[in-house]
Amino acid sequence: MTAIEQAEGRPGAGWDVLASDGSVVRIRPLREEDEQALDAMNQRVSDRSIYLRFFGMSRRLADEHTHHLATAHDGHVVLVAE
């Protein structure tokens, strides 16, 4: 991927990048309001996907981890692609 520009010129808004197939993808920091969408994604995917994504966690633990990622401000940055 190739960075095109920082989204809307605001720090933290993310970056528009060019994917290998030519589409534009926005990479940005996770926000607390993303938690519901991540929970919904966890409910849609298979048990095998949860296992591979979270290294063996159950769905309940995956939901707890998603909550931690969305709300913890411990110096780590979680990035999402949209």
Tokens of 8: 């809307």
- Each as own residue / partner, the long-range contacts of residues 71-77 (CB below 8 Å, 24 or more positions apart, any chain) are 71/32, 71/35, 77/29, 77/30
User: What pLDDT was estimated at residue 27?
Assistant: 93
pLDDT at residue 10, rounded to an integer: 57
What interhelical angle do 59-71 and 35-44 show, nearest 10? 160
Please tell me the pTM assigned to this model: 0.68
Report which secondary-structure segment, H or E, holds 15: strand 15-18
The pLDDT score that the predictor gives to residue 19 is 92
Q: What is the mean pLDDT of each run of 10 residues along the chain (82 residues)?
A: 52 84 93 90 90 83 87 85 88
Residues 6+ positions from 67 with CB-CB distance below 8 Å:
35
pLDDT at residue number 1: 53
